[in-house]
Amino acid sequence: MASLIFDAHLDLSMNAMEWNRDIRLPQVEIRRRELGMKDLPDRTRNTVCLPEMRRGRIGLCVATQIARYSARFSSLPGWRSPEQAWAQTQGQLAWYRTMEDCGELVQLRNWPEVEAHAKLWQEATVTDKLPIGYLLSLEGADSILSWKHLEKTRADGLIAMGPVHYGPGIYGHGTDDEGPLTAKGHELLKEMDRLGIILDVTHLCDESFWDALGRFQGPVWASHHNCRALADWNRQLADDQIKALVERGAVIGMAFDAIMMVHGWTHRRSTPQDFNLKMEKICEHIDHICQIAGNARHVGIGTDLDGGYGTEQTPMDLDSIADLVTLVGPLAQRGYSPEDIDGIFQGNFLRFLRENLK
């Protein structure tokens, strides 16, 4: 049993504010309240809520703000102006602050706070009343209107940022798109470096990935990414990208979205049953990274389990985020030591933060 699991990517505020879920409620109650709702494919199928995080000892996470700008004629969902996107992220921040006031969450801004919170969970025998610690991240930077807005976000506790999400963005090109970072994206990297913000390469298309990696001088991670060799889609990391990230000291968080785990998934048509998909499949992605790295120090957990999908798009044996702990057995059977497994569940990202969180 893991004493603590660190999840490097959860969209908690998006689920609360856009999905209109009170994630303080038990999972069964959230599902019951969504009976009959057809607006989103994951209604009645959610896998993340605060009680399930506590039950699974996911006591520490990177939690996002996310609001994409969708330009005129774009087919992607998003806000019609960057100003609206900024306002949306501020509403999400207000939700995090409210959860802090309720004692549900506690924001962690520096390594001593992370270390103390991790120790609290590692030593606890009962976790159902403990606050969940979160580090703030921004997924896609379209909402950053100016460098003053970036400074405000940093002052609010932002520790990591991904410049883009899907498609074209203000600062570069993301999943299913092509092209390097924009001139404004190059300036963004300089400002992130100046302010000590971690670069999250997740969602960068290949050209923007290499552009960013060649220009950014600060710490880099991939919060929720799997391997293209095992799930052939540009959303995943190619082997040369994994190697480059390892050389930069990065940690790569494993995502549990089925579309990111197997070859040939058709969005909104395929089912986990079509592939007999089980959680053990993620061990293949872990193995692949470890073989490239030559050790188990560059892989962690970044589930993205509340990223707009539910059990219709997760392994068949994952009904709740609390099921993550069942990976201990398959990893041990593959020869991973207790120290390796502890690193995958928490230690590798904690080491990264100890070394890089300014």
pLDDT of residue 1: 63
* Phi, then psi, of 90 in degrees rounded to 5: -70, -35
Residues 298-311 have a mean pLDDT of 98
Three-state secondary-structure class, residue 94: helix
For the chain, give percent helix, strand, coil, nearest 5: 40, 15, 45
pLDDT-derived band at 309, boundaries 50, 70, 90:
very high
Asked if the model's pLDDT at residue 260 lies above 70, the reply is: yes
Domains of the chain: 6-356 (3.20.20.140)
Instruction: Please compute the mean of the pLDDT values over residues 135-161 and round it to a whole number.
Output: 98
Quick one: what percent of the chain has pLDDT higher than 90?
Answer: 97
pLDDT tens digits, 170-217: 999 999 999 999 999 999 999 999 999 999 999 999 999 999 999 999
Residue 163 banded pLDDT, cuts 50, 70, 90:
very high
User: pLDDT grade, residue 47 (50/70/90)?
Assistant: very high
pLDDT at 111: 98
Give the DSSP per-residue string, 301-325. Answer: E---TTSS--GGGS-TT-SSGGGGG
CA atoms within 13 A on the CB side of 23: 29
Condensed to tens digits (0 to 9), the pLDDT of residues 7-36 reads: 999 999 999 999 999 999 999 999 999 999
pTM to 2 decimals?
A: 0.98
Percentage of the residues of the chain whose pLDDT score is greater than 70:
100
Tell me the average pLDDT of the chain.
97
